[in-house]
């Protein structure tokens, strides 16, 4: 069965790189799932959940925006603004940050400050969603992955 050569890179470095079966991402047009032999594509990513599936396992991540490019020969490259693995998210801190961003959004009246607060809120909502989902489903984490597949 064909697989995807998937790489997720942020300004901090590679967050994930491996051969995977499928990738689901949040784009500006809605959620998309990329399977082997997908047509070439470039799309804008919005803050949200990324689910990477490999051999009946799901690896949940949160990405805070960026771009995805699906290249020929089953290559998928994500250039993310930032991101983190679900198991690294502190739910309590994320929930407090979400509440603070929500409050800031209500208080800001100039356009630039409002947009910054709205983006912060969108990111924290994504973090909280992924963290809660990860804990509820008790995913197998990358800690059980062979060393050569882990990128820290």
pLDDT digits (tens, 9 = 90+) for 34-46: 999 999 999 999 9
For 4-87, give the CATH class: mainly beta
Tokens representing 28 are: 């500006």
How far apart (Å, rounded) are the C-alpha atoms in residues 19 and 7? 9
pLDDT digits (tens, 9 = 90+) for 96-120: 776 777 776 677 667 777 777 777 7
Question: Which pTM was predicted?
Answer: 0.70
* Per-residue pLDDT band at 147 (split at 50, 70, 90): very low
Tokens representing 64 are: 């805070």
Percentage, residues of the chain above pLDDT 70: 82
Eight-class DSSP state of 81: S
Eight-class DSSP state of 142: G
pLDDT value, residue 91: 66
Q: Where are the domains of the chain?
A: 4-87, 89-130
pLDDT digits (tens, 9 = 90+) for 41-95: 999 999 988 999 999 888 888 898 999 999 999 999 999 998 888 777 676 776 7
* Per-residue pLDDT band at 133 (split at 50, 70, 90): confident
How far apart (Å, rounded) are the C-alpha atoms in residues 75 and 7? 8
Count CB neighbours of 67 within 10 A: 14
How far apart (Å, rounded) are the C-alpha atoms in residues 56 and 97? 33
């Amino acid at each position: 069965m064909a697989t995807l050569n998937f790489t997720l890179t942020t300004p901090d470095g590679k967050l994930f790189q491996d051969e995977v079966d499928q990738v689901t991402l949040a784009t500006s047009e809605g959620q998309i799932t990329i399977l082997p032999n997908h047509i070439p594509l470039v799309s804008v990513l919005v803050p949200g959940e990324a689910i990477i599936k490999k051999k009946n396992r799901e690896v949940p991540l949160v990405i805070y925006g960026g771009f995805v490019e699906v290249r020929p020969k089953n290559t998928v490259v994500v250039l993310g603004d930032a991101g983190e693995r679900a198991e690294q998210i502190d739910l309590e801190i994320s929930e407090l940050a979400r509440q603070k961003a929500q409050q800031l959004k209500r208080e800001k009246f100039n356009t630039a400050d409002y947009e910054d607060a709205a983006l912060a809120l969108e990111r924290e909502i994504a973090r909280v969603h992924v963290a809660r989902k990860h804990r509820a489903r008790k995913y197998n984490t990358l800690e059980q992955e062979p060393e050569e597949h882990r990128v820290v």
